[in-house]
A and B are shown apart, each in its own frame.
Chain A
């Protein structure tokens, strides 16, 4: 047995023991695994490498935090309620289109924050009662919300797994919008119609009219959506006019949040910031842990071992290995899975378009959020609709998961051919 394999096993055992036996947070378990890995590899306590590892994700930390502040601002200002009410009012006569738009609303917080939990707990909890009033059973509603969370996490503009994978081989987070949109939106529409359409064919708007919160829209009008327009506008301007100084996502979210403080209900800046930081800290900690974990894997040669193993697999086996191992490793953390396995698999498929391939791998990595025992998206979605057990949600998820994997693999196989049409730098 090679020393790299021994180090890797020591890291995995430490990590799993920390998570499941000692019940430590995922981040702390990852730090412990990194320290043990360095120790077993004969590097003692390499403080410089541990700190270096943390810096891999400092920019991502800022994006997630400011995105969550923005999300809270538009939630507290009433913009999210107004958006839901407006969509249902305008499109109640076309249930299929209405379902697709509701799916977009559920995905929205995930798209902005890059976290499926944020989508499930914010927009998901707002839309769940509406979906159920429309006649969709609780189980199917939970599936729609969980799926919205997963695909929202992968949809542009913010996709943390792809940032992690890209960071692993120094691809900047540029030009991913097209592939990520093509990977996620068609699936989102397919799944929401698959789970919900048969129940809403004869939907009556009057039944749910009273349950919608129309107050913010009536009180503030279109003004309430200004922060959303500003955020989207600045993102487009940044892309359309490369000669202008790039503001960066964190600054865009902060500008939109400041504007949002004046366009709707009064909000407490301190409360919003405190709540945002509290809700994103577990994710931020995981990113720090992932950074250290990967740095030590690189330092000790474990990463090279995994990359070599992935690259030396025969073509067909490589796809099967990716489809099985990445979601399975996601039981620990989908971010960890993207980092530990996503990077080597991207290197194994380097002959194709790296941007399309990394995007497709991130889609497979998102399935980790439905993988027990952690299954964050599944557990929270079941809670939101009032189900005691999340296992039925997971069972319903088997077919969509297979569709997701096949869709992602198709993108990887044809990445070179489709890249010119969807990658815009």
Chain B
């Protein structure tokens, strides 16, 4: 149950980080956000 809730929290964070990438204009800031996305996606998919 807790695992499912935490996957939900990760999904929430992930959605807003991706949203931020599309709204951000500076490429360095987009790259910064992309860095954060990688582990979140892997954790959400329970790959790692």
Contacts and interface: CB of A to CB of B under 8 A. Distances in A.
Given A24-B28, A25-B28, A28-B31, A51 B39 contact: yes
B4 to A, nearest CB: 11
Interface stretch (A93-101, A178-186, A279-287, A310-318): A279-287
Contacts of B6: 62, 248, 250-251
B32 A251 contact: no
Given A54-B35, A284-B36, A250 B16 contact: no
Interface string B21-43: 00000001101110110111011
A28 B2 contact: no
Contacts of A247: 2
A114 to B, nearest CB: 16
A247 B1 CA distance: 11
Contacts of B46: none
A277 B29 CA distance: 13
A58 B17 contact: no
A278 B26 CA distance: 13
Interface in B1-24: 2, 5-6, 9-10, 12-13, 16-17, 19-20
A58 B13 contact: no
Nearest to A27: B32
Nearest to A255: B5
Interface string A246-282: 0110110010000000000000000001101110011
B44 to A, nearest CB: 10
A279 B32 CA distance: 13
A83 interface: no
B32 A28 contact: yes
Contacts of B31: 25, 28
A27 B12 CA distance: 23
Give me the 5 closest cross-chain CB pairs, A-B, nearest first: A285-B32, A277-B16, A288-B35, A54-B39, A284-B36
14 contacts: A28-B32, A28-B35, A51-B42, A54-B35, A58-B39, A58-B40, A66-B9, A245-B2, A273-B12, A276-B16, A281-B29, A282-B32, A285-B36, A288-B39
Interface of A: 24-25, 27-28, 31, 51, 54-55, 58, 61-62, 65-66, 245, 247-248, 250-251, 254, 273-274, 276-278, 281-282, 284-285, 288-289
Interface of B: 2, 5-6, 9-10, 12-13, 16-17, 19-20, 28-29, 31-33, 35-36, 38-40, 42-43, 48
